[in-house]
Structure 1
């Protein structure tokens, strides 16, 4: 199969789930092209990017200035060479009568540039996050790309994005999209509330390559510190502040623990100030971004993972954190929250503990429970590993994804076990707008 991935940024350091999906499809003999708006920090390229030479498969559109005047001036400079290359597609992309705001804002013009003179037909157009699904829909409508349109919903796209842009945001996408893949039952339920057709909607977890994560029974070594670990972007929804405060709360009683926080993000300075204010710099450390192999090495020498996720003040929510899957696959008991799809991965009091969001006292209490019962760690770790192997194994999930794609291509239906009558006559109109995707990650 020939598959196009439409994403906002690539490579994105925190989105190993997209990377694992792309490389898994390539390993299965499929041809993958990647269309992205921006390139992440090239100084921190994931080794897999180089191994698969993925940047050679990636096509970037010109950066769209946020300032309207600058966006227009840049478009004017681009217009003549673009028009000479593919006049028909360029003129359609600025047809405000047919494509309304998307054309008037010039977002559609910038979006079609990677396709000028090379309008590929794909078997599948895989869009990650709902706003990119809208973009894929518009690109297909304008004739820049062809193929079955599949949209994966992760969390922010059906939480914060709806708060910002309205609950009718995806109405047109639901009409013409061929398949919708929420990453959890929690988000499938939310899509159903929004009117997403159930016959074209399937839970498809993000997953990990379990073979890369060796199970190690977690047993505290005498006279050695117990290491707690969090692996996350330093953003509000990751709840790291609550992990810091919970650990600080018990340090006087458990002086033999250290807490390492892996990741980078806009809250780093604030979190550093909190650690300093609590006077716990010696035990709680922000150690920055690490690549996957470095993360594995750190997990090899850790005992308990904290993932205190919360709903952010702007409505942003998690999907199911990949860091939880990785830690559980390696045998760490985990402490997380009743947030989004996390309870579909972590079974309370079986593979770890779940507590209410933003509850520092509950986090501290469950952490103490684990510290006082190290004899439970091995069994919890075994339960976590089994859960990940059964339901979050990327190899099984990629096989399933190929089945979904093949069913779409062969029958025109994504549902493998039930009939569904889809209205193919639905089309986009001038009221559809490609929103800025800057809020989608």
Structure 2
């Protein structure tokens, strides 16, 4: 099959699920092209180089901020590319149909990477907002690009988290109405978000749950036991943003340290709240116990987790409505045998079985996190069994190799049925309400 991925930034280390899907499809003999707005400046995932993924990625040309410069550059690009796809370029300038998208010339610029694109079996928009892309947010618009003839294929859209939480808060609950009508098929990475998408108006027969996977073979299981030194190492991984709830983990560590001072908390990641966290750590007088490790590549993260006893994922619903699915960093920790503490938030309860793989606590409740940490510190005999249960849960439900095989099956079903026809009368025959 010929498959197109539409993403925003590629490659980006925080979205390994995209890389895992691309490499899985390539390993299965399919051709994948990636369309991205820009590249990430950080060191990429090792598979990016191994599979030469940048070579199969087409980037949006830089769009000048100054409208006059944008206009003259568009004239040049129009003249040099007109012979390739004259009708496509002309349609992209139809201000009567596409309004600001066309008038701003952003739709015109968005067509350029697709001008020599082949016909695709599948066009996969990795987030809902990449399928519609309201004016002024992102430049790629999967639905409109297909409508003007820039790209051809069956359109699949994934809803992964903030596109079905923050994005709705920002643009309203009707933002996906056109996508639900024109898109061919949809999936979410958890049942929590699937139900939300259905409530928004998506046909329940056109949407399934397909989890975000990890390569379990890269995360070696190890039963956890206390160190002879008595030091308890706790860790979390994630961007330093409100949604990740890291502030509540920091405050929990301060509570734990009153009872068990021989504790260490490593925070792996970076982000806009770093200085705020530094201030909290200083105010709580726990600078010797809490360490902001900054960004780390996957190998470095694995090295830190290998020496860790307990993992915390304290996600919360952000003030802007942003929510998490079952986060991959939590899956990675579970795959390595760590007992975990998560929150009753978004899709996390679908991953963490309370009392089996770890514990679940309410959002924004640092005292509840502290209580569970203290319980785990006082009962190290349950660590190995919790770790083993977590590993089995991830292997059974979130192994990327299994999920990539399911993804191919879904692609074949979608492209093998007349879902791309205008009447949309043919449903996906063998899709269950939840899973393929």
Task: Report the equivalent of 2:237.
Answer: 231
The residue aligned with 1:101 is: 100
Q: Which residue does 1:351 correspond to in 2? A: 357
Aligned twin of 1:10:
10
Cα offsets for 1:228-278 (capped at 9, x unmatched):
010101111001111111111211221211000111111112212221222
Q: Do the aligned partners of 1:151 and 1:179 also contact (CA within 8 Å) in 2?
A: yes
> Distance in 1 between the 2:203 and 2:68 partners?
40
**Which runs of no fewer than 5 residues in structure 2 stay unpaired?**
133-140, 420-426
Corresponding position of 1:123: 121
Deviation of 1:107 after TM superposition, in Å, equals: 2.2
Within a 5 Å distance, the mapping from 1:137-156 to structure 2 comes to: 137-156=143-162
Q: Secondary structure at the match of 1:89?
A: helix
Q: Which residue of 1 aligns with 2:408?
A: 402
More RCO (CA 8 Å, sep 6+) = 1
Q: Aligned Cα RMSD in Å?
A: 1.8
Among candidates 206, 210, 213, match of residue 207 of structure 1: 213
Alignment match, 1:433: none
Q: Is residue 284 of structure 2 the alignment partner of residue 278 of structure 1?
A: yes
Structure 1 residues 419 and 225, CA, compared in 2 at 3 Å: closer, same or farther?
closer
TM-score by length of 2: 0.92
Counterpart CA distance in 1 for 2:74 and 2:318 is: 36
1:410 deviation in Å?
1.7
Structure-1 separation of matches of 2:68 and 2:313: 43
Match of 1:323 in 2: 329
Of 376, 383, 399, the match for 1:377:
383
Where 2:236 maps in the other structure, the secondary structure is: strand
Residue 106 (structure 1) shift: 2.2
SS at match of 2:5: strand
**How far off is 1:95 after superposition?**
0.7
Pairwise CA distance, 1:98: 2.4
Once the two structures are TM-superposed, the CA of residue 224 in structure 1 deviates from its matched residue by 4.3
Corresponding residue for 2:316? 310
What does 1:175-186 align with in structure 2 at a 5 Å threshold?
175-186=181-192
Aligned-pair distance for 1:57?
0.7
Question: In 1, distance between residues paired with 2:65 and 2:361?
Answer: 40
1:152-205: CA deviation from partner (whole Å, max 9, x where unpaired): 100101111111111111111111111101111000000110000111101010
1:18-73 deviation per Cα after TM superposition (whole angstroms, max 9, x unaligned): 111111111111111100011111x4122111111100010000233566666546
Q: Distance in 1 between matches of 2:26 and 2:189?
A: 21
Cα separation, 1, equivalents of 2:432 and 2:263: 56
| Residue of 356, 367, 372 corresponding to 2:373 | 367
CA contact (8 A) 2:208 2:431 kept: no
8 Å CA contact retained: 1:120, 1:144 = no
Out of 417, 420, 437, the residue aligned to residue 430 of structure 2 is 417
Residue aligned with 2:193, SS: helix
Q: Are 2:43 and 1:57 aligned?
A: no
CA distance in 2, matches of 1:262, 1:72: 44
Kept in 1: contact 2:208–2:432 (CA 8 A) = no
CA distance in 2, matches of 1:412, 1:373: 57
1:88 aligns with 2:87: yes
Count matched residues. 418
Aligned to 2:193: 187
Which residue in 1 is equivalent to 2:43? Answer: 44
After TM superposition, the score normalised by the length of structure 1 is: 0.91
Distance in structure 1 (CA, Å) of the matches to 2:290 and 2:265: 5
Look up the SS of the partner of 1:8 in the other structure.
coil
Structure 2: distance between partners of 1:77 and 1:316: 41
Cα pair 1:404 1:416 within 8 Å, conserved: no
Aligned equivalents of 2:189 and 2:385: distance in 1? 27
Distance in 1 separating the partners of 2:65 and 2:273: 23
Give, in angstroms, the shift of residue 412 of structure 1: 3.3
Report the more deviating stretch, 101-110 or 80-89.
80-89
Measure the CA separation in 1 of the matches of 2:71 and 2:281. Answer: 46
Partner-residue secondary structure (3-state), 1:143: coil
Question: Do residues 267 (structure 1) and 273 (structure 2) align?
Answer: yes
Aligned partner of residue 29 in structure 2, secondary structure: coil
